[in-house]
Amino acid sequence: MEGEILRKGEDIILRVTDLAEKDQCFGRLDNGMAVMVSGMLAVGDRVRGRIKKVRQRYIEAIAVELLEPSPDRTPPVCTYFGVCGGCKLMHITYGAQLLYKQKKVRDALEHLGNFIDPPVYPVHGSPSPLYYRNKIEFSFSNMRYLLHEELSLEQLSRPKEFALGFHTPGNFEKVIDIDYCFLAKEEMNQALELTRTFALEHALVPYAAKAHTGFLRNLVVRCSEGYQEIMINLVTSWHDEELMQRYRMYLEAGMAGKKITVVNNVTQRHNNVATGEVEFLLCGTGYITERLGGLDFRISANSFFQTNSSQAEVLYQTILEVADLHPDDTVYDLYCGTGTITLYLAKHCRRVVGLEVVESSIHDARSNAELNGVSNVLFCQVDLKDFHAMLDTLSDYDTPQVIITDPPRAGMHPKALTTMLRLRPKRVVYVSCNPASLARDGKEIALHGYKLLSVQPVDMFPQTSHIESVACFERCSAC
């Protein structure tokens, strides 16, 4: 193929050598030309691809035939695989998923952070690659996504105007009507089926995203592993007290013997966010309680909490180990959320200060501290970009020896990063859900006299490309 001019629409043959973002993979032709090929592929697959675009340095193609499967392939257990965007890696063995995620973190640190041979450890894998989520959000829609096998049918087995499940990738209107999710716990799938049946029997109208009409918007189900409690949150456009009481009784009958609480969140916002401005308690306490590391955490309908409880404990224990705390240490926990990391560390040091912008999260953090009898913590509501303005308020507290930062996917705000480095803690423990932002911020931390000691990835989301990492930076003694 050397010297041959390649054109759009022509077929090429290549072997996949690496995974990329979304459903793209990487390979090379015999002449060395790079190819980005889309399709649910695995490293080692030999495929026939069809050229979509020819660029100066690489080709974009789509896989049209699998010629030789990779030894890392495994049959996906879910019938919606390839249509639903939730489990991009379900066709790859779990061991290969972990190797890919370790490489993803290392590549980001090397290519984006300019770290030479970064100390990225093997990934802490999940003991349960399926059924691990403690929270799942389903969406309603008046536009059901038709599966490939339905397109040729004259008569459909279920209505086109009702769907309860997951949005198709890149489409905020259409929803795949899901019967069963293999990441959700059994009780979540039970609540899904009961809610669908109730809605269809009562002819309830699902939300139309473009017209902003309809009653049913979202179904959010949470479970606690520690206490086996279930929360069912139906998000609607308005509150119908009589109907909601019927729904509550229907759930109680269908989930008899299980400890459930049911709430109705109401919103009229023109978006698909599964939270409400007003909440109505239909039965139970309105919250569930999870237990991690000997601590209880109260979780309300709109609280943030890690979605994999068993791996959350692994994550927090990893943070504790690399922080290397001493009894007299003061610790700052930036982007502390509902205070789970703050409280987990509190008994190992003198005091912990948690900083977070979301008011409801700070309220939950203080409630969780009181619930567990933890008194050596202080929670402050602050936008971390204004962190520098808080330093006078915190002047009664010692300069932190250790700072934990767990920023959102975009990474730390530059002003927050500058203020953190100005405090010159002995150690910075950076918890990241995005290797690219870890690499970018890590590069800046290293430029200010810190050495990257370790990076421990933790797989919080098996079957997906997401990976959490705990990076530990230590200030050089001469700095």
What is the end-to-end Cα distance of the chain in Å, rounded?
55
Q: How far is it, in rounded angstroms, from Cα 252 to Cα 269?
A: 29
Q: How far is it, in rounded angstroms, from Cα 355 to Cα 230?
A: 29
Q: What is the DSSP secondary-structure string of 126-170?
A: -S-SSS-BSEEEEEEESSBPPPGGGTT-SS-SS-TT-EEEEEPTT
Helices (H), 33-114: 94-111
The DSSP 8-state label assigned to residue 27 in this structure reads E
Rounded to the nearest 5 degrees, what angle is found at the Cα of 142, between the Cα atoms of 79 and 198?
75
Indicate which residue of 181, 433, 472, 476 is catalytic: 433
With b for 16 or more beta-carbon neighbours within 10 A and e for fewer, the 26-60 pattern comes to bbebeeebebbbbbbbbbebbbebebeeeeeeebb
Q: How far is it, in rounded angstroms, from Cα 328 to Cα 347?
A: 11
CB 289 within 8 A of CB 309: no
Which residue, chain included where needed, has tokens 């943070």? Answer: 319
State yes or no: is 433 an active-site residue: yes
Q: How far is it, in rounded angstroms, from Cα 348 to Cα 12?
A: 59
With 0-12 CB in 10 A as exposed, 13-18 as middle and 19+ as buried, what is 321?
middle
Size of the chain in residues: 479
Amino acid (1-letter code) at residue 419:
T
Q: Which helix (H) or strand (E) holds 311?
A: helix 309-323
Point out the residues that are catalytic. Answer: 433
